Amino acid sequence: MLILAVDTCLGACSVALLRDGEVLAHRWDAMERGHAEALAPMVEEALRGHDLAALDRLAVTVGPGTFTGQRVGLSFMRGLRLALDKPLTGITSLEALAAAACAQTGALNAKMPRAAAIHDARRDEAYLSLVEDAVASAPVVLPFVRAVEAIRAFGPCVLAGTGAPAAQEALGAGFVLSGIRQPDALFVARLAAARAPPPSDAPPPAPLYLRAPDAKLPGGRELVALFKGDVADLALLHAASFDHPWDAAALGDLLAGPGVFAFAAPSGFVLARAAGGEAEILTLSVLPSARGKGLGRALMQAAAARAALLGAETLFLEVGTDNPAALALYNGLGLSRVGSRKGYYAGGSQTGGVRGQPPGGGDALVLKAALPLAGNLA
């Protein structure tokens, strides 16, 4: 089996090509940024003398990691997956760290290898995953002190990641400090090769975001742009915003509809439809940590402006009567009540941020505004 793997999640960029466990090509470069520029030449170098069509499997790290780094590797390998029609396996960056640490320290020879991958996530937090007998716990982000406490409760093990030296100092005897600080595609390939390939109809791996990204415009504002990315990213935002979210399939079906478009930012998105001179907001989703900072207003203004450009003269939406924050937002944008819908959310009707109330029979107000909105960007 010929497998190509890449990693761009954290502070390194790496590529590995393996055939039945034999390393045919391997390159690992430490870098804090520049993954997008480095990755393609590294893959080209690794594949020199090998036919792309001969690849049997693909593998990539999905996170946790930097917001941009995760997307670089995933986008590249998802493109190869489509072009080559080959199975693509997603591996967490923390699994790769733990596997490399076990190999380096000889823990793989133990009856039940145990490892903890603890990586500095900044803000005095750490990404953490605990691995026992090749089974990894789901990655989490925790205050660093709590992450160390979790490792102590887990028991003696090998430590990997940029947080490992500080963790080992706090933990003391019984916890072995490895030299592994960054993921390596070599171990991404080995982990993927040991797993069954995903079914042909399975969705491609999606980025694993454990918190909203740090990137902001001046003044703390997030960049709002017309969405042209992976619908799985929208599903992750929706899932983090609501108890009963839409999944990627539902969002994808909507986006494929006539006149439907979306604007997105790292912490939220809006989905809208414009047809026949009218526009409707289908969902507005903003992460709890980003609310009250103007992102919802920016997303609404962007959607309204595009709807007007598409010929819409009026904008409609439904909002729960028990959602005062949303009502204040929409009233501030010039939307006013034109009707109501009794029990609109009964039976678990879930259409996200605007309509996105918990199921249970909540009433909705119908709001309307003329387009363009007052003060809207052209």
Asked, for residue 270, whether it belongs to a domain, the answer is yes
Asked, for residue 378, whether it belongs to a domain, the answer is no
Same domain flag for 146 and 269: no
Asked, for residue 54, whether it belongs to a domain, the answer is yes
> Per-residue pLDDT for the chain (378 aa), expressed as one digit of tens each?
999 999 999 999 999 999 999 999 999 999 998 999 999 999 999 999 999 899 999 999 999 998 888 889 999 999 999 899 999 999 999 999 999 999 998 865 555 589 999 999 988 899 999 999 888 998 998 999 999 999 999 999 999 999 999 999 999 988 999 999 999 999 999 999 999 999 888 888 988 877 655 545 556 567 788 898 888 889 888 888 877 788 889 999 999 999 999 999 888 999 999 999 999 999 999 988 888 888 999 999 999 999 988 889 999 999 888 788 888 899 889 899 998 887 666 544 333 344 443 334 477 899 999 998 865 443
Same domain flag for 241 and 332: yes
Same domain flag for 238 and 364: yes
Asked, for residue 375, whether it belongs to a domain, the answer is no
Secondary structure of residue 366 in the 3-state scheme: strand
Pairing mode, strands 12-19 and 2-7: antiparallel
Same domain flag for 236 and 356: yes
Same domain flag for 158 and 188: no
Asked, for residue 266, whether it belongs to a domain, the answer is yes
Secondary structure of residue 344 in the 3-state scheme: coil
Residues 126 and 142: beta-carbon distance below 8 Å: yes
Residues 351 and 316: beta-carbon distance below 8 Å: no
Total domains, the chain: 3
Largest CA distance in the chain: 71
Same domain flag for 270 and 353: yes
CATH assignment of the domain containing 65: 3.30.420.40
Give whole-number Cα distances, 224 to 71, 206, 292, 301, 331, in Å. Answer: 18, 21, 16, 10, 21
Same domain flag for 46 and 104: no
Residue 58: Cβ within 10 Å count? 25
Same domain flag for 76 and 24: yes
Domain encompassing residue 39: 2-92+183-193
**Cα separation of 41 and 47, whole Å?**
10
Same domain flag for 100 and 127: yes
Same domain flag for 153 and 266: no
pTM of this structure: 0.60
Residues 271 and 246: beta-carbon distance below 8 Å: no
